[in-house]
Structure 1
Amino acid sequence: MSGIWIYSEDSMIAKELLTVGLALKVSMGKSVGVITLASEEQDAFIAAGADKVCILKGQNPWPESYAGAVADFLSKEQASVLLVGGTLRGKDLAAKVAAILKTGLVTDALTVGYVNNGIETTRLIYGGLAIRTEAVSLPAFVTVPPRTYTEAPAMAGRQGEIFTVEVDNTASGVSVSNVCPIIREGADISTASRVIGVGRGFSKKEDLAMAEKLAQAIGAEIGCTRGIAEDSHWLPSERYIGISGQKVKAELYLAAGISGQVQHVVGVRDSKIIVAIDTNEKAPIFAAADYGIVGDLYEVLPLLAEAIEKK
């Protein structure tokens, strides 16, 4: 079997997967390639470490219509590993390709390694309460959630092979009559460098203004717990941070009035610095925090905002 291949309809995620692919390249001694629909990114993939870039060129604009073409290509290449960006579309395509090729598939892997001539992965189970280790024989397909890894850095002067594969994907069996994009409010918190999370410690929606004032002072975005978004509807659902919501990898994450159940902590634990504010000194959030303030957020937040604004 030959080659490690990466696919994502999102080029940024493909560059993140190159970080994993390059590590596998060292341990497996195989080349790394990227399968893409974005021809404009071909040079960027080579610079980020890809040895080969395969550009799929078809008539259908929908990424999921390329599952058959990806399966055919991997079969001809006798691919050892396929790493797929774990978006909704990516997981849909990965499942279809794995079914066509009758290959093992692990979804939502947090780590991917080459062990005992196979691929070993870890992923969260039971709502983040445990980590499961799974081993898959080659060829192995794995989906990796976005932002699990940082993008592979570009290296000047790298050379690689770039080629195009013509695809007939007109007969998808699905016709799209209308597209209604999701209207998002504010910035994407999953990419924010500073985030303030708000929880049930706030008594009413109007009190969120305290967190917003502090966020403005430090240049942060506002996130929240599931209860704030889906039960109280104080903030839009794209602000919800947790195992089934957004995951943030911020330089600074400040949790205000959040008890810190595991479902929320899973969404923030990759942040560089976590600061927690809660009146309950035994709140689980303090176990995940680098710094903790045991106090009333109604007193602490205004004081923090005032101190920062004076600087």
Structure 2
Amino acid sequence: MSLVIHGENPETIIRIAGAARRFFPDSPAQAVCLAPPGDEELRRLGGAGVETVHVLPENLTSQGPAVVVAALAMAVAKLGASTILLSATKYGREIGPRLAQRLGGSYATECIHVESVGEGLLVKRLVLGGAYQASLQLNARPYVIGVQAVADSAGGGAGIPRLERLDVDVDAPKIELLEVVKPEASHVDLERAEFIVGVGRGFKRREDLSMAEELARILGAELGCSRPVSGDLKWMSEDRHIGLSGKRVRPKTYLALGISGQIQHLVGIRDSKLIIAVNTDPNAPIMAESDYAVVGDIYKIVPPLIERLREKLGRR
């Protein structure tokens, strides 16, 4: 099997490579990047099993997704790839279907398991908000698959990959891109965090999040949130959103404050080793999924908890 992985940036590609090694341990991977990776990123790509990194011409993304898809299609044809792994992110969901259609192949996203079956691929993907898993067999090559990117693990790879320029000739875009607005970076890496404090609609005002921020600081934890906090209220940035359409996390401890726990959020935290929830509603879905469930008001529980931790840990 000829395997190509692609993502919106080197960090995402590294994580897709981790999934590729898990699904196809005997198949060496080639990466196609929009920008050249740095030395450390190149080393980590090698550790994840990537043998060659192909870099596309610069400024493709500034010309819109249609141009990126055209360039990727040419790259896949040049490399003779039968399987293309993308991230199950907004970028991957925008690029993936177009790429599969252009190549005349198959497409599936939100895949949590992939294996070869006969002349095709069997994939398992999350459906209905993550409440169920569906098994699909893909028969039309090439296979374009969106996978949940995971944190890379060092070692066991192919050494330092070769870095090569990949020339492709694409037509000028038919749609003029007027402006690109980059979101403000928060430098948060929830997927790697060992302790996460998650906040939900139980917080009444934006400024009240400060007590969750202080609790996270004392505990040495990252701060995440449910979809309403980032998507509806805009109290936190999208890169802190945990759930089916956000980040999938696997911390040692996840502390949920004022989160009811709809299925989309539970999908994002299901790999946590320990879940602690604080909620006024004993029947909230997250309470049944928690290892420890505290029925109470976060406004009455969190402040004294902060003071107690300060005393015990000596952190001010």
TM-score interval, smaller chain: 0.7 to 0.9
Counterpart-to-counterpart distance in 2, 1:294 and 1:304:
15
Residue 19 (structure 2) pairs with residue 20 (structure 1): yes
Q: Which residue of 2 aligns with 1:113?
A: 115
Q: Which residue of 2 aligns with 1:11?
A: 10
Counterpart-to-counterpart distance in 1, 2:245 and 2:156:
35
Q: Structure 1 residues 78-87 or 98-107, which shifts more?
A: 78-87
CA distance 1:111–1:179, change in 2 (3 Å): same
Residue 290 (structure 2) pairs with residue 285 (structure 1): no
Counterpart-to-counterpart distance in 2, 1:136 and 1:177:
38
Q: Structure 1 residues 4-13 or 117-126, which shifts more?
A: 117-126
| Aligned-pair CA distance for 1:103 | 0.1
CA distance 1:166–1:196, change in 2 (3 Å): same
Q: Which residue of 2 aligns with 1:40?
A: 37
| Aligned-pair CA distance for 1:184 | 5.3
Counterpart-to-counterpart distance in 1, 2:245 and 2:288:
21
CA contact (8 A) 2:50 2:157 kept: no
Q: Which residue of 1 aligns with 2:182?
A: 181
Aligned with residue 86 of structure 1, among 85, 88, 93: 88
What is the SS of the residue equivalent to 2:111? coil
Q: Which residue of 1 aligns with 2:106?
A: 104
Show the 5 A alignment for 1:1-311. Answer: 2-26=1-25, 29-41=26-38, 43-44=42-43, 45-57=45-57, 60-62=60-62, 64=65, 65-137=67-139, 138-145=141-148, 148-154=149-155, 158=159, 160-169=161-170, 171-183=172-184, 187=188, 189=190, 192-205=193-206, 207-229=208-230, 233=233, 235-236=235-236, 238=238, 239-310=240-311, 311=313
Counterpart-to-counterpart distance in 2, 1:193 and 1:24:
25
Structure 2: state its 5+ residue gaps.
none
CA contact (8 A) 1:20 1:112 kept: no
Q: Structure 1 residues 136-145 or 198-207, which shifts more?
A: 198-207
Counterpart-to-counterpart distance in 2, 1:4 and 1:10:
18
CA distance 1:96–1:281, change in 2 (3 Å): closer
| Aligned-pair CA distance for 1:260 | 1.9
**Which amino acid in structure 2 is aligned with residue 235 of structure 1?**
W
What is the SS of the residue equivalent to 1:270? coil
Counterpart-to-counterpart distance in 2, 1:230 and 1:61:
25
**Which amino acid in structure 1 is aligned with residue 299 of structure 2?**
Y
Structure 1: state its 5+ residue gaps.
none
Counterpart-to-counterpart distance in 1, 2:34 and 2:234:
39
What is the SS of the residue equivalent to 1:141? strand
Q: Structure 1 residues 97-106 or 118-127, which shifts more?
A: 118-127
Instruction: Give the count of matched residue pairs.
Output: 305
Deviations 1:50-86 (A, max 9, x none): 1232222356453732322322232343322110123
Counterpart-to-counterpart distance in 2, 1:3 and 1:36:
17
Counterpart-to-counterpart distance in 2, 1:210 and 1:307:
14
What is the SS of the residue equivalent to 1:301? helix
| Aligned-pair CA distance for 1:160 | 4.8
CA RMSD in angstroms comes to 3.0
TM-score between the two structures when normalised by the length of structure 1: 0.83
Deviations 1:207-232 (A, max 9, x none): 4443233223213343333444455x
CA distance 1:225–1:108, change in 2 (3 Å): same
| Aligned-pair CA distance for 1:102 | 0.5
Q: Structure 1 residues 95-104 or 58-67, which shifts more?
A: 58-67
CA contact (8 A) 2:24 2:115 kept: no
Q: Structure 1 residues 134-143 or 29-38, which shifts more?
A: 29-38
Counterpart-to-counterpart distance in 1, 2:30 and 2:153:
13
Q: Structure 1 residues 110-119 or 239-248, which shifts more?
A: 239-248
CA contact (8 A) 1:200 1:227 kept: yes
**Which amino acid in structure 1 is aligned with residue 49 of structure 2?**
G
